[in-house]
Amino acid sequence: MIGRLRGTLVSRGAESVVLEVGGVGYEVLITPAGLAALPGVGEDIVLHTHLHVREDVLTLFGFVDEQQRAWFRILLGAPGVGPKVAQAVLATLEPDELLAAIAGEDVDALTLVPGIGKRSAQKMILELKPKVGAGEMMGSAEPTDATRVREALEQLGYTPAETKEILAEIDRSAPVPEQIRAALRALGAERHA
């Protein structure tokens, strides 16, 4: 298994990079956040990788830190979760948000991920909660920023579908009040368009 690559970033695409290691170019699929965290083409980088093997294809998934890769592997253990869905989960939720969603049985947080519906989210929580030790966190789980923004928008009368769509578009690294203002501006613009 290929667990880590160190080399020169040769090219970047929308969902992947090519990393040259010892004269060999490895194409590695990576989340948008991971892609944004990488330096420019020609720079040396390190990616923690997971090699996914199927009968007809070998696919490398890359992560800028080991925690992301660990979560990717945990997600692959859930029923119905393949590498593309696991990568979508990590592109949508940060590891601490994912852990809080599992610990708090927050189905709505998981349905923010493209391709995951309510039933799939419930199955994921049921399967992953014992694996990640989320049971002990139940009393101490703080709501994540994404949860706070989603709940604020829903209290203002926006539907879960509208909220899900807008949360994918706003800057989730901003403070919660700024995220709420940005979401309200975007939702207001959509309603008046």
Tens digit of pLDDT for each residue in 115-133?
888 898 899 988 888 877 6
Q: Is the pLDDT of residue 139 over 50?
A: no
Q: Which of 9-23, 127-141, 160-174 has the highest mean pLDDT?
A: 9-23
Helix, strand, coil distribution of the chain in percent, nearest 5: 50, 20, 30
Distance CA 94, CA 89 (A): 8
Average pLDDT, the chain: 84
Beta bridge partners of 5: 47
Q: Is the pLDDT of residue 143 over 70?
A: no
pLDDT of res. 155: 78
pLDDT tens-digit series, residues 15-49: 999 999 999 999 999 988 888 889 999 999 999 99
Question: pLDDT tens digits for 13-24?
Answer: 989 999 999 999
Please, what sign has the CA dihedral across residues 155, 160, 164, 166?
Answer: negative
Task: Output the CA torsion 148→153→155→160 (10° steps).
Answer: -100
pLDDT tens profile 68-119: 899 999 999 888 888 999 999 998 888 888 888 888 888 888 888 888 888 9
Q: Give CA–CA dist 15/9, Å, rounded.
A: 14
Q: Are 36 and 12 in contact (CB under 8 A)?
A: no
Cross-strand partners of 6: 46
pLDDT value for 140: 46
